[in-house]
Structure 1
């Protein structure tokens, strides 16, 4: 008899990666409840109690109901934020915080649930300085990096380690002439540094003389490594110029990746590395909510099946 416990998939309406995972789970007769927390409370409602029995209750979408005490796994992707446009600014701010700490707190506290990944652990792992420090602790090679708001410190760093690049510490979406845009990774020189650096925190890093990049997708204990060849500083700026080759990780890298994952309490991670001319892999970052399915379509690596195994709790 099949296990009736559902998998909750928390993401936006338009998420092709979630679509393929849900399709795979349906093929396995695994019940799925898909929801976007941004739909609360218009078309998503919750009735949760915390008693001596623990947390229990129901979550309702327009087409499904989930028993909160019997959720098999929660796949946390990229839900939209809470919004209350019909309220004035102060009331909307209050309502958003109540929704976040109410519904968000319930979804983060499901008993016996496997989180891929837990939203709080995602938040912890998104701090780049923390990720770089843990990568060093795990034994991975990390480029010299500076986080600063001091123009003088930035100039000294570039003199010592140049060529250097600038990276945003977090990349919110900007609207430029109504079009979504992001701040790009760019090479910088001392001449580019002015007093505006003092306005906030910035990340500068020694530029690795790379010959290729590697995206490593870790799903549970499964590790999928894909070499990405291009002539781009940041391969994510033009996917049409990329070519892909499945590769094996250097000796000692896989245990280091699991050390990193265990530190942050993750079961999924998308790691980026730069390969230098000597074949060494330099850790750049780990995205706990990174994209991965396009690599399966390019290489045939069975990542969707691995993720479905994890959510089904076969592994």
Structure 2
């Protein structure tokens, strides 16, 4: 039995659920928008169960879980008791994911490596991928020295919260004092072509990105375009990507690479809850189908 947990209007979850349905895999969807109407029972010495719309499934029957726990929605008219019940369900369920005797994509504890980008960069480097020269600081003078050393520099949030990657420009000089109140990550700019790699178990799906934007995800905000096409990775890079996902304990991972003009590959970060649907919709890569097959046990999960 496969459990899906998240919001049904979240494209990555919706695509995975549909892939499981098409493949005929037995599954149950736990919709975060309806948690106050569901039941979750889990206690010491008991197998526990989850009940959705009158359908009860024992936790010992669950063989795999794909969870995309997002912020709980507050529907108009929800009373405090319903909100508290939903919050309790969410807390208990996500706690259970860390010790469930099932394939979990992905366990919350494993995803925490992305909560600190500098920490995750160290883990990435241990697997053999070069990472950009990095400075994390709250000192404007250190930023100026770093820029003088490397020339082109980009900056982004230190935490796992999504932020837009921007290039440091002369116009930013008047704002550098702001880092005193918010330590920021600065990195030497790496030229080359972006490649997003999705690792699903031991399978690799790569997307090449052509864009003049520093952060192609937000190219439209700068009046630019981003063209996505499926591509093949060199065998060594593909193997290293699988090894990186395994080292982080992530059966599903979105790895941000850039191929430099000299042919070297640099890794920026690893997304433990990737919105793969964006890449699948542009390239036709069968990521959702591979994920459904992994959850059903038809594919081999990645192991550290």
Task: Report the TM-score, using the length of structure 2 for normalisation.
Answer: 0.85
Q: Is 1:121–1:265's contact at 8 Å kept on the other side of the alignment?
A: yes
Q: Is 1:74–1:115's contact at 8 Å kept on the other side of the alignment?
A: yes
After superposition, the Cα gap between the structure-2 partners of 1:302 and 1:98, relative to the gap in structure 1 and judged at 3 Å, is closer
Deviation at 1:116, TM superposition (A): 1.0
Structure with bigger helix share is: 2
SS state of the match for residue 9, structure 1?
strand
SS state of the match for residue 278, structure 1?
coil
Please list, as runs of the form range in 1=range in 2, the aligned pairs for 1:80-99 lying within 5 A after superposition. Answer: 80-81=71-72, 86-87=79-80
After superposition, the Cα gap between the structure-2 partners of 1:106 and 1:152, relative to the gap in structure 1 and judged at 3 Å, is same
The yes-or-no answer on 1:64 pairing with 2:64 is no
Deviation at 1:250, TM superposition (A): 3.4
Q: 2:92 aligns with which of 102, 114, 121?
A: 102
Q: 1:166 aligns with which of 155, 168, 188?
A: 155
Task: Report the TM-score, using the length of structure 1 for normalisation.
Answer: 0.82
Matched residue, 1:75: 66
User: What is the aligned residue count?
Assistant: 291
Matched residue, 1:235: 216
Q: 2:42 aligns with which of 30, 45, 48?
A: 48
The yes-or-no answer on 1:8 pairing with 2:7 is no
SS state of the match for residue 106, structure 1?
helix
Q: 1:185 aligns with which of 138, 153, 165?
A: 165
SS state of the match for residue 245, structure 2?
helix
Matched residue, 1:28: 23
Deviation at 1:205, TM superposition (A): 0.4
Gaps of 5+ in 2: 300-304
Deviation at 1:80, TM superposition (A): 2.6
1:196 and 1:247 mapped to 2: Cα distance? 40
Q: 1:148 aligns with which of 99, 115, 137?
A: 137
RMSD: 2.7
SS state of the match for residue 147, structure 1?
strand
- 1:167-217 per-residue CA deviation (whole Å, 9 max, x = no partner) reads 112365xxxxxxxxx74211114725532211122100011122x211111
Matched residue, 2:122: 133
1:245 and 1:159 mapped to 2: Cα distance? 36
2:243 and 2:22 mapped to 1: Cα distance? 33
- 1:109-161 per-residue CA deviation (whole Å, 9 max, x = no partner) reads 322x1011112211233421122112211111211011122222222212212
Matched residue, 2:302: none
Gaps of 5+ in 1: 1-5, 173-181
The yes-or-no answer on 1:259 pairing with 2:243 is yes
2:275 and 2:257 mapped to 1: Cα distance? 15
SS state of the match for residue 212, structure 2?
coil
SS state of the match for residue 282, structure 2?
helix
Deviation at 1:38, TM superposition (A): 6.0
Matched residue, 1:123: 112
Deviation at 1:270, TM superposition (A): 0.6
Q: Is 2:114–2:159's contact at 8 Å kept on the other side of the alignment?
A: no
2:71 and 2:54 mapped to 1: Cα distance? 19
